[in-house]
Amino acid sequence: MKGVESGLLDFSRLEMLAAGDSPVHRLDPRTKVLVTAAFLVFVVLHGKYDLAGLAPLALYPVAAMALSGLPAGYILGKLLLASPFVLLVGVWNPVLDRGILVTVGGLPISGGWISFASIVVRFALTLSAALILIATTGFDQVCRGLSRLYAPKAFVLQLLLLYRYIFVLAGEAARMVRAFRLRNLSDERPAMRTYAALLGSLLVRALDRAQRIHMAMLSRGFDGEIRMSRPMRLRLADAAWAAFWIAFFILVRRYDIPGLLGQIVIAH
């Protein structure tokens, strides 16, 4: 994975984006979670050769990014970083599936290439939707939304506590790695034995910290249940956002808009 500092930077960047203000940011987290889920389902419902059918769905991430003022370059950069596995698996399709599916201007295009392209497009669509969700909502709001959508409470709390202490522990880890590098100028990465000792002491500190947190919780009346009270309100904008997108997803699923468009263009 990435270095500790750059990993933390990723969090900070997304958190800063989520702290922004826009019509999309202002939507209720539940709305955004549900629309994202619907979007993902409609993307994967398309068969693997259905490259054309996927195209209209791109409107959702593009519009959401534009309306919320998210920097497209940043999102694309993150997608690129995440792509190796999918590319590695997908790139076999053109090799293995050579049946010609389409001929464009005399150039035969095999099913493998089409399905490979569709994998890449799916990848971009699904992951950008997830990033848009977190970058316009913020992690703790997503969690609150999930808990209102009946996710198990213990799990939601676990997510929140985990997120809170990532920053503390990653900070500790970064300090330890820095100390290691100061003493060890020759090698960038620790060898396994040092690495295990490094992790071991990080782990022991984590265990101690957990005990102190527990103490702090107890001293404020903790009885095994963590309570959070924050009102959440669905507004007209939420209904409109959800209704628009779900109607749009269904529409492009029912009608072959790219096909129609293409025919119109070619006819002229």
Partner 1 sequence: MHMADALLSPAVGASMWTVTAGLTVYCARKVKKDADERKAPLMGVLGAFIFAAQMINFSIPATGSSGHLGGGMILSILLGPYAAFLTIASVLTVQALFFADGGLLALGCNIFNLGFFPCFIAYPFIYKALTGSSPTRNRIVAAAILASAAGLLMGASGVILETVLSGISELPLGAFALLMLPIHLAIGLVEGLVTSAVVLFVWKARPEVLTLSAASRPLAGLSLRKLLAGFAAAAVLTGGILSWFASQNPDGLEWSMFHTSGHEELAAPADGLHRALAAFQEKLAFLPDYDFKKPEAVPAAPAPETAPSGPVVQPGTSVAGLVGAALTLALAGLAGLALGLRRRAAEIRR
Partner 2 sequence: MSHHIVEVKDLHYTYPGETRKALSGVSFRILHGEAVGIVGANGAGKSTLLRHLNGYWAPREGSVRIGDYPVTPRTVKQVRRTVGMVFQDPDDQLFMPTVFDDVAFGPLNLGFSPEEVALRVTRALETVGAAHLAERPPHRLSGGEKRAVAVATVLSMTPDILVLDEPTSNLDPRARRKVIELLHGFVHTRIVATHDLDMVLALCPRTIVMREGRVEADGPTLDIFNDAELLDRCHLEKPFSMQACPVCSRATLPARQP
Q: By CB under 8 A, tell whether 76 contacts partner 1.
A: no
**For the residues of 216-262, what is the DSSP string, one character each?**
HHHHTT--S-----------HHHHHHHHHHHHHHHHHHHS-HHHHHH
**Residues within window 235-254 making contact with partner 1, judged by CB under 8 A:** none
What CA–CA distance (Å, rounded) separates 129 from 32? 10
Q: By CB under 8 A, tell whether 100 contacts partner 1.
A: yes
Shortest distance, position 165 Cβ to partner 2, whole Å: 8
> x/- site string to partner 2, residues 56 to 95, per CB under 8 A?
----------------------------------------
Cβ proximity to partner 2: between 116 and 140 the closer is 140
**Residues within window 7-26 making contact with partner 2, judged by CB under 8 A:** 15
**42 vs 22, 123, 242, 249, 253, CA distance in Å?**
26, 13, 14, 7, 8
Sole window of 31-39, 61-69, 111-119, 162-170 interacting with partner 2 (rule: CB under 8 A): 162-170
Shortest distance, position 131 Cβ to partner 2, whole Å: 19
Shortest distance, position 159 Cβ to partner 2, whole Å: 9
Shortest distance, position 264 Cβ to partner 2, whole Å: 50
In the beta sheet, which residues pair with residue 110? 100
**Residues within window 166-225 making contact with partner 1, judged by CB under 8 A:** 166, 168-170, 172-173, 177, 187-204, 206-207, 209-211, 213-214, 217, 222-224
Size of the site for partner 1 (CB under 8 A): 136
Sign, CA torsion 50/52/53/57:
positive
CB atoms within 10 A of CB 171: 14
Exposure on the CB side of residue 100, measured as CA atoms within 13 A: 7
In the beta sheet, which residues pair with residue 108? 103
Q: Tokens 């904008």 — which residue?
A: 237
What CA–CA distance (Å, rounded) separates 264 from 245? 25
Q: 80 with 123: CB under 8 angstroms?
A: no
Cβ proximity to partner 1: between 28 and 139 the closer is 139
Shortest distance, position 94 Cβ to partner 2, whole Å: 46
Sole window of 68-76, 79-87, 128-136, 161-169 interacting with partner 2 (rule: CB under 8 A): 161-169
Cβ proximity to partner 2: between 213 and 257 the closer is 213
Task: Please report which helix (H) or strand (E) contains residue 75, including its range.
Answer: helix 72-82
Q: 18 with 134: CB under 8 angstroms?
A: yes
Shortest distance, position 263 Cβ to partner 2, whole Å: 52
- Contacts with partner 2 by CB under 8 A lie at 15, 139-140, 143, 160-161, 163-165, 167-168, 209, 212-213, 215-223, 226-231
